[in-house]
Structure 1
Amino acid sequence: MENDGTRKEDNTITEDEKSAIRILESTINHTGERYEIGLPWKLPANLQNNYFSALNQLNSLNKQLNNDPKLSDMYQQTLVIDLEKNYVKPVEMADPPPEKIWYLPYHPVQSANKPNKVRRVANAASKFKGESLNSNLLTGPDLLKSLIGILVRFREKPIAILADIEGMFMQIGIRNEDQSALRFLWSIDNDVRQLQFTRFIFGATCSPSCAIFVLNRCAEDNVETYPKAQSAIKSYFYMDDYIQSFESPENANATAFDVKNCLRAGGFGLTKFLSNHQQALQCITPEDLEEPKSETRVLGQKWNLEKDTFFMKSLGEFPKEAEQYTQRKLFSLVSSIFDPIGFLGPMTIRSLNKTSNEVQTVFVIGKCKVAPVKQLSVPKLELEASVTATVFNLIYRAKKQRDNHHQHTVEDIELSKSYLIQMSQVNSFPTVIELLKSNHELDPKFKHRSLNPMLDKNDLNTNTFLNAYRRFTSRKCQPADLYSDNGKTFVGAKEELKSCLNDLDKDKIHKALAAQNTKWHFNPPYGPHFGGAWERLIQSVKRTLLIILGSRKFTFDVFHTIMVEAEAMMNSRPLTNVSDAMENEETLTPNHFLLQRPYNSLPPCIFPSTKPANMKSWKNVQQFLNHIWRRLAREYLPTLIKQPKWTENAGNSLKVNDVVWILKDSTPRGIWPLGRVEEVFPGRDGNNRVVKVKTAHGTFVRPVSGLARVFAD
């Protein structure tokens, strides 16, 4: 829980953070009363004397205070308190200016909840000639503990203790040579005085890191005297707030005693102790106890001590009259709801206790995310995909009772991606999905209607594949060998088919049926190149269909017709010629093996070359198929042409007696005209440009660019 995804790990520490740590390590010192440390400067520091700029800001502030005497009195009192506590000291105007000097502008800050209290706040980011105090200081490493982690651990055990360090930053001294960079101007009796801080201030960019560094060092230096303090200080402090839970009041007392006295040795005062158990703070003196109360805040969360529960402000506490809300008030109301643990997030909890009828659930943490305003970076998107794949993979393997200790694969990521897309669509378009399932028309007002939404019913599984296989063998023949990739569908089908065949053998079905058992060959997973021959053909057909069909919507009848015709086109391609005489037009094709005869299709009709506007009529379907044929021929032709080296000419690969396919745009669908090369004619450069080809209809001279060698002599 310590790392909630927003914290940097130690191995990502920057060079600036390393420099800051070196400065803190080399300058920290215990004076006998408290710790003292140097400011972590960037090198070289570039601070210029901004006295007159600070004086102008002081004059503006005085005008504001003169108009509000009550605010002026409270503001003056803050300096009196700081002088009494030695947080600041006067500086004589006649003193020579040191090497580093900077004047901090100050202003009063009041809280609406505490109108009678004012704080004096320094603006360490105020610039003079492009430089500020903060721009010259190293921020230091982020040593702050996770707020969510501390809150979750606070809820872990029944007895809780709260406390905070009084003026944490002001309890840490600054070495003398750095104090001059924390000067400020003050008006006393119309006279301008110079003062400078001797302690760390709120508003300096390095103060949080330096304070936690000193706090941790205090725990380490006193670990032998106060052994329980080290773990508590390093793990249960969120800046100056101490928050820890315990199993027993005895352990709570012992730890609270060690923590308080350990910090006291470092100059820190731990006060305002509060607990939900009366016996947990017996070791704490009354002046360090918070006034008893039934409710308080824990890191911004409301906590009921009596019930030991967190709670949120009820909606009944907000004004119900709509006219009382402006846009600004509404935004203020929303931003006032602080819920780091996720109590208000929607959630569904499913729990099952198999050993009894009792069901027990415990809420630990919830997280809701909205779409980011800024686009996520690629590394973050990859991380989310990895995490999602891991989660779904664990769920899947838990259901299948499989080993969960393995790295997720590409298949896991794709499965997770498909699942998330499906869930997103179900949540976003429930009505549309129901209408599509029932084959009803979509509402004309549906803004995505023009995209022709349809349900993806690609639910191929072992059963549907086996049915497809049975249809194939019923139309074609029973193959002796079947080659496929290593998809889970096919692997599962092999096991079921094997089981079915075994069952048939047990029932003593005729031996002739058993003799037709198909031998199944699987390529290695993710190795489509092992199926080079058929993968090349599949790629040609898929590319052609994607280009020609595009995003058009078809009925099952039309799409089925297209697929069957495309299958016939590819299976009518020539494999080898039967005889050497070109007068014999018949060549061996895949259909000779599948159908035990050549492919005899209906003669294709002649249609205009434009693509059909719709797919409803038979003529339009045929016209569309003609486009597919021409495109398919252009896709398949390059796969037949042997690719020579770049120094060779493609025409030189054709030789006398080679059988070639003659490609023309006017070639009817399903016709593969063949010829035999009788003579080659080299060009002036010596490369073959033209050949004489003998066909069943005569002898012709053709350029080599329109020929593809099907097989050589």
Structure 2
Amino acid sequence: MVGPVVQQDLLSITIRFRFRRLAIVADVEKMYRMVKVQPNDQHLQRILWRDSPDETLRTYELTTVTYGTASAPYLATKCLQTLAKENEANNPRAARVLKDDFYVDDMLSGADNVEDGKQLIHEMIELTSSGGFTLRKWISNEPQLLEDLPKTLLDDRVTLELDKSSAPVKTLGLLWEPMTDRFVFRPPKWNDNSPITKRIVLADTARLFDPLGLIGPVIVQAKIFLQNLWKQKCEWDEPLAPEFQRFWLEHRRNLLALESLHIPRWTGFSSTLNKSEIHGFCDASEAAYGACLYLRSTNNDGSIIVRLITSKSRVAPIEDPGRKKKKQSIPRLELSSALLLSHLYEKLVHSMQISIPAYFWTDSMIVKCWLSSLPSRWQSFVANRVSEIQHITKKGVWNHISGIENPADIISRGMTPAQLQYQRLWFEGPQWISDDYCTWPKTSAALAEPDESLLEEKSSVSLPIRVKAPNLSTQAFLAAFRRFVAIRGKPQIMMCDNATNFVGANRELKELRQQLNDQQFQYSMIRAAEDDGIEFKFIPARSPNFGGLWEAAVKSFKGHFRRTIGINPLSYDQLHTVVQQVAAILNSRPLTPLSNDPHDYPALTPGHFLTGRPLTAIPEPELHEIPENRLELWQRSQVFVQRI
């Protein structure tokens, strides 16, 4: 049996490796040979051996884990994990490094200062020695960390290869230069004599080793080309068309430019920083979609450093009419890129186990709208992804950015290595991210500079006027109107719908309807309103379309009222309370686009024009799960409101 993977993946380990200012690297000497197999299992590792054909065959039993067996990686790494677990109490820091910062037999760790680094090296040597393991080939970007170690245990290599795969085919290796503390790339050597087939393209693509996605725009070009071959239904071992062969040979030659690409290993993060932030960007094209994460670090002197942490890309799904699989629209691909960004952010948070403020950026206002609403509003494809994105990024803020400033646009379309090495946008993000917050793009121009005509149109609010039914005189109606003005303030225009909503009511309400339609009554109302500078307008009977937005508000009120109250009998106090709360909810709806920027202005609502501030409700406990027969009179009315 192979056994499960017990160590963390290479992406998580290398991400943490980039967050340490001082890098510390070592490996376990002959790790497999240091792990002894149980005596009752050693007979399963018998071999036949002789030094020459003239000698008699001898039978040996291998007593230690043997390289090449299926279970060897699991047995050896499980021993390291067990050693870490057994020493968590006595040596917690070294145990954590042994548990989390080892990839097979390689340690990729670090520290923030020389003193902590030397202490970590001492503790690691002590811990591994207690289990019979020896750490060797120590190397660091800070020579002071290694000055106390014997030279026999040091590594004098100029570059360290992070991909130590035993595969016979060499990959595009990601290497680390300790002296310069930079990542460099070594393009593989290609066999240009053989014709290019789809199988060779797939093999070449698999040899591009970039776990952090630092050259994601280069690799996505290979992914897109491979998908195009799939669309063309090319055979695996059939030579490609001449134009495809020329493209791939040119792609191979372009990869040679990666030798001149140098990327800083350290992201600038430190526990002594004044402030750190995560900024994520996502974008999509017709061919692919991608996401990238950046760390924005503010030092104590006010200087700001922005570094690319990691990125990820995927090709757009292929349209398949036979399986009724349609081509994805750009907005849906943009939403998929936002989900990819969420997963990448989740991976980073899980790897670092620290809480850092997060900002997420998309150049799609459609996606921004989807994420600002409840998932239940949308169809299943959008609803499922919106729900997951909102759950993962609930501690972050989603914002809008222009496409030209979006670094994820580069990974969604691809770029050659020669072009990429001069792309500051890709490696350091947009220019404004290194500046003060006031230079950051606003989510909506309407929030920064509101359109007065729009606010005037949106601020028309329809509010019910209560009239005591037995008294239907003009003076009684004006008295009710005065009370309305005293509570809500004096309106500029007062609209009346001719009481068509009273049709079918009792006798008193019918008389009210007749009075509102009476010309003399209307004249009295208009004259009384003119004295206060209020324009009083009556729309035609049975013509709610003349009411516009305020009739839409009445419709919303009726809809909520019917769905929540239905035929339930209410006392006057209950009815009055529910009506006022429903009106407050409707008057709390935003008139302008919502913003997730904590530094932006709050959204304007009708409540701002009514009271000068938002209409807030008194906190109430959740009452839905309490049986109705156990609810008090006041609680029953609140259940109706909570259903809205």
- TM superposition score category, shorter chain reference: 0.3 to 0.5
Structure 2 length-normalised TM: 0.39
Higher relative contact order (CA 8 A, sep 6+): 2
Structure 1 length-normalised TM: 0.36
Determine which structure has more spread, i.e. the larger CA radius of gyration.
1
